[in-house]
Amino acid sequence: MILGDFNIDIEQDGEKADTILERMDSCCIGPVVPDSNTSLRSGRTIDYAASICVDLTIQAYEGDTTSDHKSLLGVLVGNKTSTDEESRTIWPVFTLILSYIFDYWGKMEQRTRSQQNIFLNHARPSIPQNLVKLHAQSRSLSFKAKRKSDIELRKEARRLRNLPRFELKSFHKEQLVKQLKEMHLPGETSGLFRSKTKNHLRQVSSSLKGFFSSSGEIIKDSQIMANMVADHCKRLFEAPVMTRRHPYVDAPPVQWENAAEPIPTDWGILPGNQSGFRAGFRLQTREFLLIEQISSYMPNSSLTATAFVDFKSAFDQLRDRKAVIEVHGNLSRWIKINRGGHQGSSVTPTLFITYHNDMGDFMPGAMSFFFADDLSAVLTGQIGNRFKNQRKHLECRLHTLFEQLEFYAILAVQPIN
């Protein structure tokens, strides 16, 4: 049995009523509707029950009520029923009973609605009542000034609005000072304004004291610590098992008609939007193009965002070399570095640029600018729309860009800082 406010009148609401009746038929349940209307505001019957294999009768309470819906009284009949007897509700007696129990249950209902159980470590301080009152007064006066277009009222509303802001800022400072004094005390109470407090905490020491093992044991032996770091670095620098597959692996090889003709450009597959480590592609030129691209969006009153990407360990490691880890004077075993290239070599940057020549194709929604091994992607919102719509559109484009960039980093086995 389901009893409640369905907000649909089965006799008056047409298609909505047909939809809910079809849903009831699919669940093998039927409606039980009172004889009179239940909504005092619209005069419709929107409070009823849906039951299955239950002998249920519903009546609407015709007495006084503080709600805009009439109270419902349901009678559920058991297995043993008498066919020669009926029942009726004596409303004066029912009203008299309610007059005795309404105060108690009314208080319990208000208490249930106004209270909520929360964890102590999630508690936050409430704003003082005088500040809440000042905020309400400033908002009311602002609406009044906007409605009447009164300059003096606007000035008064601005003055009244700045006053609670200053008081609220002072209140936050007091709570912050209190939290800083009590942050080292034991207990499970909430850390008030924890996000703001972190900015004032002293940074921990960077010296290495020990390691936590997977079993929870604290390891302070320098030799064991060095070997653990070596194991981690060995897994980090091992040769990648992923390979960049061609998107058309199962397709037959394509025979181009101009395969024998020379490539018209001298750069081959190297992208034209990349500068640095190449003759004729100066880094300063790419910077000027980036600034010009951003400046071209500004006169159109469009939101512009630029994402700067720094690739992790692009070619600053030594391939086929060995390394050793030192912790507090203790040396680990030798580990191999199976990825990266020689730092300062002229071949390694060219290989990096060639390997990532299609990076811009994975991010078609942004203007990509490549500076050696760094990337700058410029995006803008829809030109001509309202500021709110431009902001939403720009957020969606940034989210798409980050997803495409993450996909490319995984596909190319090129992590990002």
56-60 and 47-51 strand pairing: unpaired
Whether 218 is in a domain gets the answer yes
Is residue 155 domain-shared with residue 235, that is, in the same domain? no
Cβ neighbours of residue 239 closer than 8 Å, sequence gap 6 or more: 338, 339
Q: What percent of the chain has pLDDT over 90?
A: 0
Is residue 99 domain-shared with residue 147, that is, in the same domain? no
Query: In the structure encoding, which two tokens stand for residue 198, read together?
Result: 């972190």
Average pLDDT, the chain: 73
Question: Cα(141)–Cα(136) distance, rounded to whole angstroms?
Answer: 9
Region 148-156 average pLDDT: 85
Is residue 389 domain-shared with residue 244, that is, in the same domain? yes
With contact defined as beta carbons under 8 Å apart, do 228 and 211 qualify?
yes
Region 52-81 average pLDDT: 75
pTM tops 0.75: no
Is residue 169 domain-shared with residue 231, that is, in the same domain? no
Question: Cα(191)–Cα(180) distance, rounded to whole angstroms?
Answer: 9
Question: Cα(210)–Cα(232) distance, rounded to whole angstroms?
Answer: 15
DSSP 8-class letter at 346: S
Cβ neighbours of residue 293 closer than 8 Å, sequence gap 6 or more: 367, 369, 378
Is residue 383 domain-shared with residue 350, that is, in the same domain? yes
Specify the number of domains making up the chain: 3
List helix spans (H) across 115-186.
129-148, 151-182
Whether 120 is in a domain gets the answer no
Whether 95 is in a domain gets the answer yes
Containing H/E element for 223?
Answer: helix 222-236
With contact defined as beta carbons under 8 Å apart, do 72 and 60 qualify?
yes
The pLDDT of residue 191 is 47
Is residue 154 domain-shared with residue 106, that is, in the same domain? no
The sign one gets for the Cα dihedral 354, 359, 361, 362 is: positive
Query: In the structure encoding, which two tokens stand for residue 257, read together?
Result: 């008609």
Is residue 20 domain-shared with residue 43, that is, in the same domain? yes
Helix and strand counts by DSSP (H, E) for the chain: 9, 15
Is residue 176 domain-shared with residue 294, that is, in the same domain? no
Is residue 365 domain-shared with residue 306, that is, in the same domain? yes
Whether 258 is in a domain gets the answer no
Region 138-149 average pLDDT: 84
Whether 121 is in a domain gets the answer no
Whether 140 is in a domain gets the answer yes
Is residue 177 domain-shared with residue 234, that is, in the same domain? no
Question: Cα(371)–Cα(285) distance, rounded to whole angstroms?
Answer: 10
Per the structure, the complete domain to which residue 53 belongs is given by: 2-79+87-114
pLDDT tens profile 396-409: 888 888 888 888 88
With contact defined as beta carbons under 8 Å apart, do 380 and 394 qualify?
yes
Question: Cα(311)–Cα(373) distance, rounded to whole angstroms?
Answer: 7
Output helix, strand, coil percentages for the chain, rounded to the nearest 5. 40, 15, 45
Q: What percent of the chain has pLDDT over 70?
A: 69
With contact defined as beta carbons under 8 Å apart, do 304 and 298 qualify?
yes
Neighbours of 204 (CB within 10 A): 6
pLDDT tens profile 228-278: 888 887 877 777 665 555 554 555 666 777 777 765 555 556 666 677 766
- The answer to whether residue 298 scores a pLDDT higher than 50 is yes
Cβ neighbours of residue 363 closer than 8 Å, sequence gap 6 or more: 377, 401, 404, 405, 408
pLDDT band at 201 (very low <50, low <70, confident <90, very high): very low
Question: Cα(98)–Cα(80) distance, rounded to whole angstroms?
Answer: 29
Region 17-41 average pLDDT: 80
The pLDDT of residue 334 is 83
Whether 386 is in a domain gets the answer yes
DSSP 8-class letter at 203: P
In degrees rounded to 5, what are phi and psi of residue 182? Answer: -105, 5
With contact defined as beta carbons under 8 Å apart, do 350 and 315 qualify?
no
First-residue to last-residue Cα distance in the chain: 58
Is residue 91 domain-shared with residue 134, that is, in the same domain? no
The pLDDT of residue 352 is 75
Is residue 96 domain-shared with residue 151, that is, in the same domain? no
- The answer to whether residue 162 scores a pLDDT higher than 80 is yes
Amino acid in position 311: F
Containing H/E element for 394?
Answer: helix 387-411
Question: Cα(358)–Cα(311) distance, rounded to whole angstroms?
Answer: 15
From residue 254, alpha-carbon distances to 250, 257, 265 in Å are 12, 10, 22
Torsion-angle region of 304 (φ positive above 0: left; ψ -120 to 50: alpha; else: beta): beta
Whether 276 is in a domain gets the answer yes
